[in-house]
Structures are given as C-alpha cells and as structure tokens.
Amino acid sequence: MINCNRVNKKSILEAIEDFVLHIFSWFLDINVDIFKNNADKKYSIKLFDKKLINLCRTVSVVELVNEIIMKDKNCTQREIYYKFYNIFREQNQANKHIKDVCNILGYERSSLNIHASEKGCIAGLLILKKGYEILNLSGHENGIMINEFLLNVDKIESMANYIIVVEKYSVYQKLCENKIWNR
C-alpha cells in the first residue's frame, strides 16, 4: 500500500517536542532584570510586539502540525491562513511561517501533511503504483486529495470506462457517496 505520509509520525512528534522544549528553555532563561535596570532607556514596544507576534505565528503553526499529524489529517497552506486569520494578515505571512516550521522541525512541508493547495480529489477504479507500493482508490469511499506525492507515481492503472472531471467539490462528494464508479 502506498504510504502518502512516508515519514514516521513519531519522529515528527519528537521534533515538535524538541521545539516546544527549546521555547520553554528560552523563556526560562530570559533575564527579566534587563528591563528593570534599563527603565530609563526607551525600548520600542513595536520591537517586542513584532518578535512576540512572530513567535505566536510560529507556535500556532507548530500546534496545528501536531494536531494534523496526531489525527492523520491533511491541510493546505490556505486552510492554515484562514484558521489563523487573526494573526496572519496575508497568505504570504502564513507561507513564510509554514516554511520556518518545516526548517525548525527538519521536514518537508508534504511530510507534515501540509500541501500547497488542493490540486483536486481523485476517486474510483484507479490503482496508483510507486516502486513496490500500491494504492487502490476503490477502497477509499470519499477518494483522496491529490498532493505532491500522488503527482509523482510511476504507474497508473484504471479499470474505468470513463473519466469525469467535476469542478464543484459538493458534486464530487455526492458522486463518491453514490459510488459512481461501480455503475
């Protein structure tokens, strides 16, 4: 069976734990006296706010990665942007912090179950092969999201008599519910 999440879930969770421990050790090592001893100096509030907001954005993405890895879910960069609309002003900010989290944890974005955008969904009488791994789509009731991994399969086999391209996701879901490929 093709494993779309080719990376060991445990190793990703360990990387997240290391990141969280690093953040906590950083907080515990802050010298609070620096603010008391320099009360006469004018520090820019914006400087601290910007660093704190960036940390908040990064930690929010890490928290979401932890959630989707634990639940074996997938999401798009766009979904992350909308989920955290209150801390990301634009999509590019979300993308930057997603990239930062990938670098911090040491994994590619797709290994963390985050995809650039939905490239569509696929379902039906279709078998995808990559090396010795096989993915039979007829066993997936609602189909699966097309991601970077699926775009790089070695061989595609189909027993279908026709291909239907559907623009609206709600129509796609209805066709899957009715198992249109068995007709």
Cβ partners under 8 Å of residue 67, min gap 6: 73
Contact in structure between 148 and 115 (CB atoms under 8 Å): yes
| Pairing outcome for strands 126-130 and 121-122 | unpaired
107 is an active site residue: no
* Tokens encoding 23: 């953040």
Q: Is 72 helix (H, G, I), strand (E, B) or coil?
A: coil
- Given the residues 43, 81, 82, 169, select the one marked as catalytic: 82
How many residues belong to the chain? 183
Beta bridge partners of 122: 144
Of 121, 124, 102, nearest to 113 by C-alpha is 102
d(Cα 156, Cα 148) in Å, to the nearest integer?
Answer: 15
* Tokens encoding 166: 């559907």
Q: Is 145 helix (H, G, I), strand (E, B) or coil?
A: strand
Among all residues, which ones are annotated catalytic? 82
